[in-house]
Amino acid sequence: MLAGDGVPKIWNMSLSPNKAYAAVVQSVPTDHQKLQCAVYTLAKPKRTKILHLDPKYSQSASIQALTFSEDGHLLVMTTGEPENSILVWKWSTGKVLVADASSFTVHHISFNPWDGTQLVAVGDSELNHIDFVEEELKLKADTPLHHSGLSTFSAHTWVRGTFVAVGTVTGQVGVFLRGEQKGCYQLLEHIPVVCLAAHQAGFVILSHTLLTFFAPVESGSKQPDREELFTIQHQVPLIFAKDVDPLHVSIAPSGVNLMLSTSGNEILQLDLQYLADVASGESRSHLTRAWSAFGSGAVLAPSGSMTSTEIQASSPMPLATAFHSSRVTCMDACRLVPIVATAAQDRELRIWNHRRQECVLKRQLTDDPVDLSVHCSGLTILIAYSDKVQMQYILRSDLEEIADFPLKKCSLCSYSNGGQLFAAAGIGNVITVWSAVTHQVLATLKDEGLCAFHRESATERKEASPGFGMTARRGTPTVYAEQQHMLCLTICSAFKIGFKAPL
């Protein structure tokens, strides 16, 4: 959507509640020291309006936070020092309706989803409840969080229409009503609260190791000496893969699924109906079903109920990712069908339709692949591992194994151009050729150097294997030399980059 605008960097963004508009804070193309806010219409998509900060409202060069009103007609923007301004725009006309100053730098601001006349502004250690009435901002007295026993703020959400829940970097959660603190809860000590989201009449808290669900306290169960508004309903421990962190959590409008994004470029899903099984101690098979759509890196781990081996055996799968979550190690394209196969260090194999520009199949492999080759028909694929070559059918939504071909220290594999044969390079730079139909070994080609490519022409079979001295050796014709096909094996080394193409 931003392609072609010449925008060097994006700093912040906000999506309207009706999913019609997106506001993006970006550098001015002609002056990278200045910022502008561009509003995009998502249905088109196109850039509809550009908002520039007027010096009479703010001298600040930073835009700290953005939020849309419920109908998407108003856009609230906060700026940094020295003014710490709060600006309410009618963005369609580019007019500032209200401009006011805050006593602290506002890092996050949001409208009340149930009442469009209320906002909450949150800084590092302050919170302010704001009434927006008749195009006027009425700021209440600031609530210093550190005076309420809370430390630095990290996330917030509106709850039940009137309450605001805030999380801190030390694992605390405070509940406020119109700026007045009504409750404080301590989760895991020194584990930061990453995100909060409203859930039914309560809220859910995401930290690096835990999902905590809060529900309203029933009137009959409240303590007589103190007023408890919310209580912990469920706690779900999380185990993430190395270098993968949770970023954001959201609840589907139906309230059935929880969605979670991670630093591994994944969108993950939890089926909330299984939380009752967690609380009642159901069998582990039921527990792992809750994460059947969860991705490389997060699994359900009820305290003391699952071993590390059982966690790995649950084999969770990602719901959606923009691309591989780690470096791509091998790929191949089909000659006749518009598909490309890729595999990465996360052991995920993907089949892409490059004509429709979408991923059509994802499969988690059991080992690290070293090479791929797609049959010219697009119906089968070769997957080379360090100890074997595996042939599989490419189905509509999965792969089905056909056969395994043991080969020690396998490094390359390839189908012939016609698809009748396939070959792989193994230990000692030995090239083994199989029939793709009968799966029988037709030839074994040996050489002393580094295997770089293998070629078959219409009249004879030629095998060239340049060694580290870059000398090539040529083979002799064999019994299958008159078949009309060509075969290439390629490898990247410090001396040469090979290309999979007819030679």
Checking if the pLDDT of 411 tops 80, the result is yes
For the record, the structure tokens of 274 come out as 């299984």
Mean pLDDT of the chain, nearest integer: 75
Q: What local confidence, expressed as pLDDT, does residue 373 receive? A: 94
Q: How far is the CA of 117 from the CAs of 108, 138, 223, in angstroms?
A: 17, 10, 34
Euclidean distance between CA atoms 260 and 244, whole angstroms = 12
- Beta-carbon contacts of residue 454 (< 8 Å; ≥ 6 apart): 414, 423, 431, 445, 463, 464, 487, 488, 489
How sure is the predictor about 153, in pLDDT bands with cuts at 50, 70 and 90? confident
Predicted confidence at residue 314, as pLDDT, reads: 38
Strand, helix or coil for residue 14: strand
- Read off the amino acid at residue 75: L
Q: Which residue has the higher pLDDT, 403 or 279?
A: 403
How many C-beta neighbours within 10 Å does residue 492 have? Answer: 9
* CA pair distance 81, 67, nearest whole angstrom: 19
Q: In the chain, what percentage of residues exceed pLDDT 70?
A: 72
pLDDT (0 to 100) of residue 497: 29
CA distance 125 to 154: 9
Helix, strand, coil share of the chain (percent; to 5): 5, 50, 45
Tens of pLDDT, residue by residue over 352-374, are 988 887 888 888 888 889 999 99
User: Mean pLDDT across the stretch 34-52?
Assistant: 86
Residue 246 is inside which H or E element, if any? strand 246-251
Closest CA to 235 of 198, 205, 202: 205
Q: What is the mean pLDDT of residues 99-107?
A: 84
Kind of pairing between the strands at 46-52 and 388-394: unpaired
Alpha-carbon gap, residue 459 to 465, rounded angstroms: 20
Per the model's pLDDT, the better-predicted residue between 238 and 377 turns out to be 377
Lowest mean pLDDT among 193-207, 251-265, 411-425, 479-493: 479-493
pLDDT digits (tens, 9 = 90+) for 435-458: 999 999 998 887 544 444 444 433
SS3 string of 114-159? CEEEEEEEECCCEEEEEEECCCCEEECCCEEHHHHCCCCEEEEEEE
Q: Which residue has the higher pLDDT, 102 or 6?
A: 102
Q: pTM of the prediction?
A: 0.59
Q: Using the predicted structure, report yes or no on whether residue 52 has a pLDDT greater than 50.
A: yes
Strands 371-374 and 380-384, sheet pairing? antiparallel
Beta bridge partners of 108: 122
pLDDT level of residue 390 (50, 70, 90 thresholds): very high
Which residues, in sequence order, are CB contacts of 253 under 8 Å at separation 6+? none
Look at residue 148 and tell me whether its pLDDT is greater than 80: no
Residue 366: in which H helix or E strand, if any? none
In angstroms, the CA 233 to CA 230 distance is 9
Residue 393 has pLDDT above 90, yes or no: yes
> What pLDDT, on a 0 to 100 scale, did the predictor assign at position 325?
67
E strand or H helix at 191, and its extent? none
134: left (phi over 0), alpha (psi -120 to 50) or beta: left
Q: How many CB atoms lie within 10 A of CB 316?
A: 20
pLDDT band at 280 (very low <50, low <70, confident <90, very high): low
pLDDT of residue 181 exceeding 90, the answer is no
Answer yes or no: is pLDDT of 214 > 80: yes
Q: Average pLDDT, stretch 412-434?
A: 90
Predicted local distance difference test score (pLDDT) of residue 190: 79
Is residue 6 predicted with pLDDT exceeding 70? Answer: no
Mean pLDDT, range 379-402, rounded to an integer: 92
The Cα 434–Cα 403 span in angstroms is 12
User: What value does the mean pLDDT take over residues 140-164?
Assistant: 75
Neighbouring C-beta atoms of residue 423, cutoff 10 Å: 26
